[in-house]
């Protein structure tokens, strides 16, 4: 960790999954995350998914005024960053080609409930989140009232596995992916395996450790 601490305040290139590289100013480093000021926003990046960090060839850096406007040092853990962002409109990246936008409604033990104006409630495994970026309070998109998260998100399982078990007998989509083997009836959860019956009647057995998000339309 001391190696990264020495880079705080410098322009760095951070490479995460799928050869995605962010070039920005390293603002802070915590136990399991780093904070990067990138394109006028703050990225809270899980160190679990950081491939490497190096000093950037770019020399521009944000002014102290820009940094102080929205960032306050906290006890830096990725879980704490998620908890601090609860109720705010955020951008997160889990998998696929695009980030997801919406609200974190509750942070449980190893996952959190995420409310998307498009998908409604998503259940997201904490270990698969690459980065999180809260919107500034004054720049939250002007959604209609019906697109805001419910005040009481409902009862959920205390672990990601327990929440999967609560969805037994329901139609689900894994990882927001429309591949045939990722959409179907969740029949049974027997850790570490989730049994999914797809549209063609085939049973697909998924390792729960590799399920990033779970979405059910009903």
pLDDT-derived band of residue 145, with 50, 70 and 90 as boundaries? low
Above 70 in pLDDT, residue 71?
Answer: no
CATH architecture of 78-147: Roll (2.30)
- Average pLDDT, stretch 153-180? 92
Q: What stretch of H or E contains 206?
A: strand 203-207
Above 70 in pLDDT, residue 178?
Answer: yes
Q: pLDDT for 31-48, tens place per residue? A: 899 999 998 899 999 999
195: tokens are: 């049994």
What is the sign of the dihedral through the CA atoms of 164, 169, 170 and 171? positive
Q: What is the structure's pLDDT at 117? A: 86
Q: What is the structure's pLDDT at 124? A: 97
CA–CA dist 100, 119 (Å, integer): 10
Which of 10-19, 84-93, 179-188 is the most confident on average?
179-188
The answer for residues whose C-beta is within 8 angstroms of residue 117's C-beta and 6 or more apart is 101, 102, 143, 147
- Average pLDDT, stretch 177-183? 93
- Average pLDDT, stretch 71-99? 85
Q: Does the structural domain 2-60 have CATH classification 2.30.30.100?
A: yes
Q: What is the structure's pLDDT at 65? A: 46
Select 160-215's CATH number: 2.50.20, 2.30.30, 3.30.70, 1.10.3470. Answer: 2.30.30
- Average pLDDT, stretch 66-92? 79
Above 70 in pLDDT, residue 66?
Answer: no
Asked, colleague to colleague, whether 2-60 and 160-215 share their fold, the answer is yes
Per cent of the chain over pLDDT 90 is: 67
Q: What is the structure's pLDDT at 63? A: 53
Q: How far apart are the two ends of the chain, measured CA to CA in Å?
A: 44
Instruction: Out of 81-85, 93-97, 102-106, 212-216, pick the least confident.
Output: 93-97
Query: Measuring CA to CA, how many Å separate 27 from each of 31, 34, 137, 175?
Result: 14, 8, 20, 31
pLDDT-derived band of residue 153, with 50, 70 and 90 as boundaries? low
| Structural domain boundaries in the chain | 2-60, 78-147, 160-215
Q: What is the structure's pLDDT at 171? A: 95
């Amino acid at each position: 960790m001391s190696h990264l601490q020495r880079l705080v305040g410098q322009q760095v290139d951070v490479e995460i999954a799928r050869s995605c590289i962010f070039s920005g100013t390293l603002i802070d480093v915590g136990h399991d995350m780093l904070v990067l000021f990138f394109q006028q926003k703050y990225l809270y990046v899980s160190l679990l998914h950081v491939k490497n960090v190096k000093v950037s060839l770019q020399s521009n850096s944000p002014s102290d005024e820009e940094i102080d406007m929205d960032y306050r040092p906290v006890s830096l853990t990725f879980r704490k960053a998620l908890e601090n962002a609860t109720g705010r409109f955020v951008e997160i990246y889990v998998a696929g080609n695009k980030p997801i936008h919406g609200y974190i409604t509750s942070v449980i033990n190893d996952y959190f409930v995420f409310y998307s104006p498009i998908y409604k409630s998503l259940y997201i495994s904490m270990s698969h989140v690459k980065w999180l970026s809260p919107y500034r309070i004054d720049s939250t998109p002007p959604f209609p009232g019906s697109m805001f998260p419910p005040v009481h998100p409902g009862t959920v399982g205390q672990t990601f596995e327990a929440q999967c078990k609560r969805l037994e007998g329901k139609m689900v989509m894994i990882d927001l992916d429309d591949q045939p083997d990722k959409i179907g009836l969740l029949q049974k959860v027997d850790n570490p395996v989730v049994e999914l019956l797809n549209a063609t009647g085939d049973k697909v057995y998924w390792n729960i450790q590799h399920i990033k998000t779970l979405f059910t339309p009903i």
